[in-house]
Structure 1
Amino acid sequence: MPLQFQDRVVLITGAGSGIGRATAVKMASLGASLALCDINYDNLESTSKLCGATTPKHLDDVDVSSNQEVRKFVDATATKLGRIDHVFNCAGVNPTSIPLEDTTDEYWDKLVNTNLKGVFNVTRAAIPHLKSGASIVNVSSISGLRGSAQQAVYCTTKYGLIGFSKCMALELGPRGIRTNVVCPGYIDTPTNAGIVKGGEAVERMVNGNALGRLGTPEDVADVVAFLFGEESRYMNGSVVEIDGGIKGTVLGGQERAKL
């Protein structure tokens, strides 16, 4: 396999598990150097081992909702690895099904500060380090395209990410920096509440798309690698669904993947 990302640095948030971890492993296999962060440092170290000892890396535990922590991590990445070429904003908080009248300010703040403000913080901090040919991929969700009862806050953050990304595509495009979005569907990750619940919950997710299976983190990672690569050079502001062909409405939050 050609090392098409050799001499390139990829920054990934939420790299400690799931889609973030799979993308880190994928990019390492393509020769990239990695800047990986997560709120769980033990998980991050496990990801680092999977990426191989020879892959140049910078690791740190970071709360993406903290502008100070994000700036420290981004600046340290540029210093240690010499550059930043691609950014994968993957860190996020899972939804919980809550009627709006029962939704607390704390729940709103938690999801908005991580899912939306976190992407804002990382993107803003990274822009001064990005040059022509760089790219950003943000993780929205099928819930950023379709509403879901009792998921108002989560859907708000994921819809907002698509709007933010399209604005960045227009703002950064003239500088040769592309921004795209992936919208995963039901993905088999350890934190997927439906997977934990098992039984009928998993069956409903499997039957909820035309391919008749759950997606894997690797299914998403492969698309992210494509969006970073030269093959997608004319894609900017694109929203890519990775859901196996969702049937009808999106399932409730208790059976939703970590997106």
Structure 2
Amino acid sequence: MDSRNRFQGKVIAITGAGSGIGLATAHYLAKEGAALALADIRDEALQQARDLITAQTRGVKLHTYALDVSKNQDVEDWVGAIITAFGRLDGAANLAGVFSRTIDGISTLSDTNWHSVLDINLSGVFYCLRAQQKVISNGGSIVNASSIAGLYGHPNYPAYCVSKAGVLALTRCAAREMGEKEVRVNCICPGRVRTPMMNSAQQSLSGVTFSGNPSALQREAEPEEIAALIGFLLSDESRFITGAEYKIDGGRMA
């Protein structure tokens, strides 16, 4: 099969598709022939993404959905709409997420800020997995977004670290459950990536320093580099990989 058409005839759902890693993944998969169901909480960004992808990829089949992944019924409705529109679901990239909204240790972190991060980063992935498991085709593949922050502790971001560690455990559980249908579930653990979310964090978290780069390669990742890994994990080339977590951090944790 032509490697540029690895996803021909397949329907892939992506959350967080309005920018950053989600948008880069949508571009990557569209170029390889996938039909796309794109979701993001920011409708304007989502429509801009749609216009950009359709302009750059001739003949792409694409539907967009405004979605808050922290609301279970909205997620169920979204997955149902995918089946109505396309008749099937072959893969998913659950990438919607938020960074910590404040710089707080455990003793000072408010209930509101704790839940606001976990509701999106962890519960959102759970809701997506639960809805996707009911309809995904045999032999399908799901990729969840964790972070290297889920692999180690950080004194100022307990909610973010816990949410991403939870995604790792949830991915392993889902991989064991869905293996009977030969559905694979894997997880990516990026380091620092040049995305709007990271830029927003740098601007909004006054007092935190993001200068320098501790990765061995001395730079941030580009979203397209993360998208390439997601594409591999969604493709049949990784058909014997499931329940795995992939660090893509430029050697930061080497």
Q: Note whether the superposition's TM-score is higher than 0.5.
A: yes
The amino acid across from 1:127 in the alignment is Q
**Structure 1 residues 138-177: aligned runs within 5 Å:** 138-177=144-183
Deviations 1:221-253 (A, max 9, x none): 0000000111111110110001000058xxxxx
The structure-2 alpha-carbon separation of the partners of 1:196 and 1:29, relative to structure 1 and needing over 3 Å to count, comes to farther
Runs of 4+ aligned residues of structure 1 deviating over 3 Å after TM superposition are 193-197, 200-203
The structure-2 alpha-carbon separation of the partners of 1:244 and 1:48, relative to structure 1 and needing over 3 Å to count, comes to same
Whole-Å separation in 2 of the counterparts to 1:221 and 1:240: 13
User: TM-score, with normalisation over the residues of structure 2?
Assistant: 0.92
Shift of 1:102: 1.4
The structure-2 alpha-carbon separation of the partners of 1:143 and 1:233, relative to structure 1 and needing over 3 Å to count, comes to same
The amino acid across from 1:73 in the alignment is W
Which residue in the other structure is 2:82 paired with?
77
SS at match of 1:106: helix
Whole-Å separation in 2 of the counterparts to 1:179 and 1:188: 25
Determine if the alignment matches structure 1 residue 90 to structure 2 residue 98: no
Shift of 1:186: 0.8
Match of 2:41 among 39, 42, 46: 39
The amino acid across from 1:92 in the alignment is G
SS at match of 2:107: helix
The structure-2 alpha-carbon separation of the partners of 1:19 and 1:174, relative to structure 1 and needing over 3 Å to count, comes to same
SS at match of 2:73: helix
Gaps of 5+ in 2: none
Whole-Å separation in 2 of the counterparts to 1:111 and 1:41: 20
User: TM-score, with normalisation over the residues of structure 1?
Assistant: 0.90
The amino acid across from 1:204 in the alignment is G
Deviations 1:106-159 (A, max 9, x none): 111111110111011111111121122101100000001111111111111100
SS at match of 2:139: coil
**Structure 1 residues 175-214: aligned runs within 5 Å:** 175-193=181-199, 196=203, 201=209, 203-205=211-213, 208-214=214-220
Query: Superposition RMSD on alpha carbons, in Å?
Result: 1.7
Query: 2:17–2:46: 8 Å Cα contact kept in structure 1?
Result: yes
The amino acid across from 2:177 in the alignment is E
The amino acid across from 1:31 in the alignment is G
Shift of 1:30: 0.5
How many pairs are equivalent? Answer: 244
Gaps of 5+ in 1: 249-259
